[in-house]
Amino acid sequence: MSTHSPSAAGATHVGHVRDNNEDAYVITDRVWAVADGLGGHAGGEDASAAAVDAAQERLEVHAGSDPEQAVRAAFRAAHDTILMLAEAEPSLADMGTTMVLAWRDDDGMVRIGNVGDSRAYLLADGELRPLTTDDNEAQALLDRGELTAEQARVHPGQFRLTKVLGTGSPEVPQPREHLLPGTAGRLLLCSDGLNSELSDDEIAALLADGTPQQAADRLVRAALDAGGHDNVTVVVVDLGSGA
Ligand code: CA
């Protein structure tokens, strides 16, 4: 995979434990996405790659329509593409994926959407801010006040996703959406192979300096050094430098 814009860069690694890298990412001038194909499901690799490609294509052809609809349409396109692939190959019927994407709309606003537990963070004014909320059982318990944030971080429910793209579901999962208040700062998209190995403070420190490619490579290396129990993928975008 290659980088098309010097203001954005990605890096991915299979890790130290798994045989396949089921993560995928895409980078264009306006669309950035990371997807994490489901472990234990056939075709996780195909599902994540198909999802980011379909979403990116859908957003590239978007012309003047409602930007909120465009983000939802991108997730629908990703979901439908996975179902189509699964229908053509019954052994892949279960395949699914998470996806987090960021898109700079026609007005220059950056819109974020996510399904599953791949995340987006914004580093601005020296502060790392999570932009997304995971779709998993630990988060659901946290939302209901049955866990504290501290308990949720180590709860086994964090590994059970409550929403994914694909997996044969006829219902299109609606993404959680977020509009960035400004257009400055450094954006990070990542699969859980990053944030399950590194704390937010570690991520903030590694993300802060150098080019997007240097930061992306440094984050992946740190996740590997911390154990590399999962595939790890990051996309780093300098907002405001190319808008
Ligand atoms: Ca993962």
Query: Taking ligand 1, which is a single-atom ion, which protein residues have CB atoms under 5 Å away?
Result: 36, 191-193, 230
Kindly give the distance from the C-alpha atom of residue 28 to the centroid of ligand 1, in angstroms, as a whole number. Answer: 23
Helix (H) or strand (E) holding 76: helix 67-88
Q: Is the dihedral of CA 237, 13, 191, 49 positive or negative?
A: positive
The confidence score (pLDDT) of residue 1 equals 44
The confidence score (pLDDT) of residue 168 equals 79
- 137 token code pair: 């059982």
Bridge partners (DSSP) listed for residue 100: 34, 114
- How far apart CA 71 and CA 53 sit, in angstroms, is 14
- How far apart CA 149 and CA 38 sit, in angstroms, is 25
CA 157 to chain CA centroid, Å, is: 19
The confidence score (pLDDT) of residue 119 equals 97
- How far apart CA 13 and CA 221 sit, in angstroms, is 9
Helix (H) or strand (E) holding 129: strand 127-130
The confidence score (pLDDT) of residue 243 equals 39
> Residue 107: pLDDT band by 50, 70, 90 thresholds?
confident
Kindly give the distance from the C-alpha atom of residue 194 to the centroid of ligand 1, in angstroms, as a whole number. Answer: 9
Condensed to tens digits (0 to 9), the pLDDT of residues 228-240 reads 999 999 999 999 7
> For a pLDDT cut of 70, what percent of the chain falls above it?
94
**Which of 51, 39, 40, 34 lies closest to 85 in space, CA to CA?**
51
Average pLDDT over residues 16-37: 95
- Whether residue 122 is predicted with pLDDT greater than 70 in this model: the reply is yes
Kindly give the distance from the C-alpha atom of residue 17 to the centroid of ligand 1, in angstroms, as a whole number. Answer: 12
- How far apart CA 13 and CA 30 sit, in angstroms, is 24
Count, in order, helices (H) and strands (E) of the chain: 7, 12
Condensed to tens digits (0 to 9), the pLDDT of residues 127-150 reads 999 999 999 999 999 999 999 988
Condensed to tens digits (0 to 9), the pLDDT of residues 144-197 reads 999 998 898 889 998 899 999 998 787 888 998 989 877 789 999 999 999 999
Kindly give the distance from the C-alpha atom of residue 132 to the centroid of ligand 1, in angstroms, as a whole number. Answer: 16
Kindly give the distance from the C-alpha atom of residue 205 to the centroid of ligand 1, in angstroms, as a whole number. Answer: 22
> For a pLDDT cut of 90, what percent of the chain falls above it?
72
Contacts of 173 (CB under 8 A, 6+ apart): 75, 79, 115, 163, 164, 165
